[in-house]
Amino acid sequence: MKQPSTIEVTTRQRIATVWLSRAGSRNALNEQLVKELLGAFDMLEADHEVRVVVLRGRGDYFCAGGDLKWMNGGDELPVELHPATWLSRLFARLYRFPKPVVTVVHGAALGGAMGLVAASDFVIAEQGAVFSFTELKLGLIPAVISPFVIKRIGEFRSRKLMLSARKISAEEALNIELIDYVSEISTLEKQLQNLCAELMQGAPLATQACKQLIVKVAASVMDDALFDYTARQLKTIQQGAEAKEGIAAFFEKRTPAWEK
Protein backbone atom coordinates (compact mmCIF):
# COMPACT_ATOMS: atom_id res chain seq x y z
CA MET A 1 0.00 0.00 0.00
CA LYS A 2 1.34 3.44 -0.99
CA GLN A 3 2.30 5.56 2.00
CA PRO A 4 -0.64 7.95 2.62
CA SER A 5 -0.01 11.68 2.76
CA THR A 6 -3.37 13.00 4.00
CA ILE A 7 -3.92 10.58 6.89
CA GLU A 8 -1.84 8.97 9.62
CA VAL A 9 -2.59 5.55 11.09
CA THR A 10 -1.21 4.43 14.44
CA THR A 11 -1.97 1.27 16.38
CA ARG A 12 -1.51 0.70 20.09
CA GLN A 13 -2.98 -1.99 22.34
CA ARG A 14 -5.40 -3.22 19.65
CA ILE A 15 -6.75 0.30 19.05
CA ALA A 16 -6.07 1.90 15.66
CA THR A 17 -6.22 5.68 15.39
CA VAL A 18 -6.81 7.23 11.98
CA TRP A 19 -5.81 10.90 11.90
CA LEU A 20 -7.12 13.28 9.23
CA SER A 21 -3.92 15.12 8.37
CA ARG A 22 -4.69 18.03 6.06
CA ALA A 23 -4.40 20.55 8.88
CA GLY A 24 -3.53 23.39 6.48
CA SER A 25 -6.91 22.87 4.80
CA ARG A 26 -8.77 22.18 8.05
CA ASN A 27 -8.90 18.51 7.07
CA ALA A 28 -11.36 19.23 4.25
CA LEU A 29 -12.31 16.04 2.42
CA ASN A 30 -10.74 15.91 -1.04
CA GLU A 31 -10.33 12.97 -3.41
CA GLN A 32 -6.98 11.86 -2.01
CA LEU A 33 -8.14 12.03 1.60
CA VAL A 34 -11.32 10.10 0.84
CA LYS A 35 -9.45 7.39 -1.07
CA GLU A 36 -6.81 7.09 1.65
CA LEU A 37 -9.51 6.78 4.30
CA LEU A 38 -11.23 4.04 2.31
CA GLY A 39 -7.90 2.23 1.94
CA ALA A 40 -7.20 2.55 5.66
CA PHE A 41 -10.58 1.09 6.58
CA ASP A 42 -9.96 -1.85 4.23
CA MET A 43 -6.59 -2.46 5.88
CA LEU A 44 -7.97 -2.17 9.42
CA GLU A 45 -10.89 -4.49 8.72
CA ALA A 46 -8.42 -7.16 7.58
CA ASP A 47 -6.14 -6.66 10.62
CA HIS A 48 -7.42 -9.17 13.18
CA GLU A 49 -5.36 -7.56 15.95
CA VAL A 50 -7.32 -4.29 15.68
CA ARG A 51 -10.46 -4.26 17.82
CA VAL A 52 -11.51 -0.59 17.79
CA VAL A 53 -10.90 2.26 15.32
CA VAL A 54 -10.67 5.89 16.46
CA LEU A 55 -11.08 8.72 13.93
CA ARG A 56 -9.54 12.10 14.78
CA GLY A 57 -8.24 15.27 13.11
CA ARG A 58 -4.95 17.17 13.24
CA GLY A 59 -4.82 20.95 13.56
CA ASP A 60 -7.52 23.36 14.68
CA TYR A 61 -10.56 21.55 13.22
CA PHE A 62 -11.73 17.98 13.20
CA CYS A 63 -12.97 18.52 9.64
CA ALA A 64 -14.33 21.47 7.64
CA GLY A 65 -16.39 19.26 5.31
CA GLY A 66 -15.94 18.68 1.59
CA ASP A 67 -13.11 20.48 -0.20
CA LEU A 68 -14.97 22.93 -2.46
CA LYS A 69 -12.17 23.05 -5.06
CA TRP A 70 -12.45 19.30 -5.50
CA MET A 71 -16.24 19.23 -5.42
CA ASN A 72 -16.56 22.05 -7.96
CA GLY A 73 -14.29 20.22 -10.39
CA GLY A 74 -16.58 17.26 -10.96
CA ASP A 75 -19.12 18.68 -13.42
CA GLU A 76 -17.79 16.76 -16.42
CA LEU A 77 -17.26 13.48 -14.57
CA PRO A 78 -19.63 10.51 -14.80
CA VAL A 79 -21.67 10.04 -11.63
CA GLU A 80 -19.61 7.04 -10.47
CA LEU A 81 -16.48 9.24 -10.37
CA HIS A 82 -18.11 12.42 -9.08
CA PRO A 83 -16.97 13.76 -5.68
CA ALA A 84 -20.49 13.24 -4.30
CA THR A 85 -20.23 9.52 -5.05
CA TRP A 86 -16.83 9.22 -3.40
CA LEU A 87 -18.17 10.94 -0.28
CA SER A 88 -21.23 8.70 -0.25
CA ARG A 89 -18.98 5.62 -0.46
CA LEU A 90 -16.91 6.88 2.46
CA PHE A 91 -19.88 7.48 4.76
CA ALA A 92 -21.44 4.13 3.83
CA ARG A 93 -18.12 2.37 4.50
CA LEU A 94 -17.89 3.98 7.91
CA TYR A 95 -21.52 3.14 8.73
CA ARG A 96 -21.09 -0.52 7.75
CA PHE A 97 -17.58 -0.97 9.14
CA PRO A 98 -17.69 -4.19 11.19
CA LYS A 99 -15.57 -2.99 14.12
CA PRO A 100 -16.56 -0.24 16.56
CA VAL A 101 -15.66 3.25 15.33
CA VAL A 102 -15.19 6.11 17.81
CA THR A 103 -14.91 9.62 16.36
CA VAL A 104 -13.34 12.42 18.40
CA VAL A 105 -14.34 15.96 17.42
CA HIS A 106 -12.41 19.08 18.35
CA GLY A 107 -12.72 22.61 16.99
CA ALA A 108 -15.49 22.11 14.47
CA ALA A 109 -17.29 19.55 12.35
CA LEU A 110 -18.89 21.30 9.38
CA GLY A 111 -20.87 20.22 6.33
CA GLY A 112 -19.68 16.87 5.06
CA ALA A 113 -17.85 16.22 8.31
CA MET A 114 -21.28 15.65 9.82
CA GLY A 115 -21.44 12.50 7.70
CA LEU A 116 -18.37 11.17 9.49
CA VAL A 117 -19.96 12.04 12.82
CA ALA A 118 -23.37 10.54 12.06
CA ALA A 119 -21.99 7.30 10.58
CA SER A 120 -19.77 6.56 13.60
CA ASP A 121 -20.78 4.26 16.45
CA PHE A 122 -19.67 6.65 19.19
CA VAL A 123 -18.74 10.34 19.11
CA ILE A 124 -16.80 12.21 21.79
CA ALA A 125 -16.53 15.99 21.44
CA GLU A 126 -14.28 18.41 23.21
CA GLN A 127 -16.10 21.05 25.19
CA GLY A 128 -16.15 24.10 22.92
CA ALA A 129 -16.45 22.14 19.67
CA VAL A 130 -19.14 23.34 17.26
CA PHE A 131 -21.23 21.56 14.64
CA SER A 132 -23.05 22.93 11.61
CA PHE A 133 -24.73 21.85 8.39
CA THR A 134 -23.30 24.64 6.26
CA GLU A 135 -24.46 23.44 2.84
CA LEU A 136 -27.42 25.77 2.28
CA LYS A 137 -25.22 28.82 2.88
CA LEU A 138 -23.19 27.68 -0.13
CA GLY A 139 -26.20 26.93 -2.33
CA LEU A 140 -25.73 23.19 -1.77
CA ILE A 141 -27.74 20.53 0.05
CA PRO A 142 -26.57 17.96 2.64
CA ALA A 143 -27.55 15.12 0.33
CA VAL A 144 -24.98 12.34 0.81
CA ILE A 145 -24.81 12.78 4.58
CA SER A 146 -28.61 12.87 5.00
CA PRO A 147 -29.25 9.09 5.29
CA PHE A 148 -26.87 8.85 8.23
CA VAL A 149 -27.84 12.09 9.97
CA ILE A 150 -31.59 11.47 9.71
CA LYS A 151 -31.16 7.91 10.97
CA ARG A 152 -29.15 9.23 13.91
CA ILE A 153 -31.20 12.22 15.07
CA GLY A 154 -34.55 11.94 13.25
CA GLU A 155 -36.41 13.87 10.60
CA PHE A 156 -37.50 17.04 12.36
CA ARG A 157 -34.26 17.63 14.26
CA SER A 158 -32.56 17.27 10.88
CA ARG A 159 -34.95 19.83 9.36
CA LYS A 160 -34.18 22.37 12.09
CA LEU A 161 -30.42 22.03 11.76
CA MET A 162 -30.10 21.57 8.00
CA LEU A 163 -32.53 24.34 7.03
CA SER A 164 -31.17 26.90 9.48
CA ALA A 165 -27.50 25.98 8.94
CA ARG A 166 -26.84 27.37 12.40
CA LYS A 167 -23.90 26.36 14.57
CA ILE A 168 -24.66 24.28 17.64
CA SER A 169 -22.48 23.60 20.65
CA ALA A 170 -21.20 20.24 21.78
CA GLU A 171 -23.72 20.34 24.63
CA GLU A 172 -26.63 20.87 22.23
CA ALA A 173 -25.29 18.13 19.95
CA LEU A 174 -25.26 15.84 22.98
CA ASN A 175 -28.85 16.75 23.90
CA ILE A 176 -30.13 15.75 20.44
CA GLU A 177 -27.96 12.59 20.44
CA LEU A 178 -25.87 13.66 17.46
CA ILE A 179 -22.90 12.88 19.70
CA ASP A 180 -22.54 10.67 22.77
CA TYR A 181 -20.10 12.40 25.14
CA VAL A 182 -18.71 15.87 25.85
CA SER A 183 -15.34 16.09 27.57
CA GLU A 184 -13.04 18.79 28.81
CA ILE A 185 -9.64 18.65 27.13
CA SER A 186 -8.04 17.49 30.36
CA THR A 187 -10.29 14.42 30.65
CA LEU A 188 -10.94 13.51 27.02
CA GLU A 189 -8.07 11.06 26.59
CA LYS A 190 -9.06 9.16 29.72
CA GLN A 191 -12.69 9.00 28.60
CA LEU A 192 -11.61 7.74 25.18
CA GLN A 193 -9.39 5.11 26.80
CA ASN A 194 -12.21 3.94 29.08
CA LEU A 195 -14.68 3.70 26.20
CA CYS A 196 -12.27 1.68 24.06
CA ALA A 197 -11.55 -0.66 26.97
CA GLU A 198 -15.29 -1.15 27.45
CA LEU A 199 -15.76 -1.96 23.76
CA MET A 200 -13.00 -4.57 23.88
CA GLN A 201 -14.76 -6.55 26.60
CA GLY A 202 -16.99 -8.03 23.92
CA ALA A 203 -15.83 -11.02 21.90
CA PRO A 204 -14.25 -9.83 18.60
CA LEU A 205 -16.28 -11.89 16.11
CA ALA A 206 -19.49 -11.44 18.10
CA THR A 207 -18.93 -7.66 18.11
CA GLN A 208 -18.64 -7.64 14.32
CA ALA A 209 -21.68 -9.88 13.96
CA CYS A 210 -23.63 -7.57 16.27
CA LYS A 211 -22.83 -4.51 14.15
CA GLN A 212 -23.88 -6.34 10.99
CA LEU A 213 -27.05 -7.49 12.72
CA ILE A 214 -27.98 -3.94 13.73
CA VAL A 215 -27.47 -2.61 10.19
CA LYS A 216 -29.57 -5.43 8.74
CA VAL A 217 -32.40 -5.18 11.27
CA ALA A 218 -32.55 -1.37 11.09
CA ALA A 219 -33.20 -1.58 7.35
CA SER A 220 -35.71 -4.44 7.52
CA VAL A 221 -39.47 -4.80 7.77
CA MET A 222 -40.76 -6.38 10.99
CA ASP A 223 -41.95 -9.65 9.48
CA ASP A 224 -41.44 -13.40 9.81
CA ALA A 225 -38.45 -13.33 7.45
CA LEU A 226 -36.66 -10.95 9.80
CA PHE A 227 -37.53 -13.01 12.88
CA ASP A 228 -36.22 -16.14 11.17
CA TYR A 229 -33.03 -14.31 10.21
CA THR A 230 -32.36 -13.20 13.79
CA ALA A 231 -32.98 -16.73 15.10
CA ARG A 232 -30.52 -18.17 12.58
CA GLN A 233 -27.93 -15.55 13.49
CA LEU A 234 -28.14 -16.38 17.19
CA LYS A 235 -27.97 -20.13 16.50
CA THR A 236 -24.86 -19.67 14.34
CA ILE A 237 -23.08 -17.50 16.89
CA GLN A 238 -24.07 -19.78 19.77
CA GLN A 239 -22.38 -22.72 18.05
CA GLY A 240 -19.09 -20.84 17.61
CA ALA A 241 -15.90 -21.04 19.67
CA GLU A 242 -16.32 -17.55 21.14
CA ALA A 243 -19.72 -18.31 22.64
CA LYS A 244 -18.47 -21.59 24.08
CA GLU A 245 -15.49 -19.78 25.64
CA GLY A 246 -17.62 -16.90 26.95
CA ILE A 247 -20.18 -19.16 28.58
CA ALA A 248 -17.47 -21.39 30.05
CA ALA A 249 -15.71 -18.33 31.49
CA PHE A 250 -18.99 -17.15 33.03
CA PHE A 251 -19.62 -20.43 34.84
CA GLU A 252 -15.95 -20.79 35.82
CA LYS A 253 -15.88 -17.18 37.11
CA ARG A 254 -12.85 -16.21 35.05
CA THR A 255 -11.93 -13.69 32.34
CA PRO A 256 -12.63 -14.90 28.78
CA ALA A 257 -9.63 -15.47 26.53
CA TRP A 258 -10.21 -12.41 24.33
CA GLU A 259 -9.76 -10.03 27.29
CA LYS A 260 -6.33 -11.36 28.22
Catalytic residues: 135
Question: What 3-state DSSP class applies to 16?
Answer: strand
- Write out the E strands in 76-228: 101-105, 108-110, 122-126, 130-132, 168-169, 181-183
Q: Say what the alpha-carbon torsion angle 177, 179, 98, 141 is, to the nearest 10 degrees.
A: 90
Position 202, amino acid: G
Rounded distance, CA 86 to CA 114, Å? Answer: 15
Angle, helices 204-218/83-96, rounded to nearest 10 degrees = 120
Q: Quick check: 114 and 145 in contact, CB under 8 A?
A: yes
Question: What 3-state DSSP class applies to 66?
Answer: strand
Backbone angles phi, psi at 9, to 5 degrees: -125, 125
Which stretches of 22-78 are DSSP H helices?
31-46, 68-71
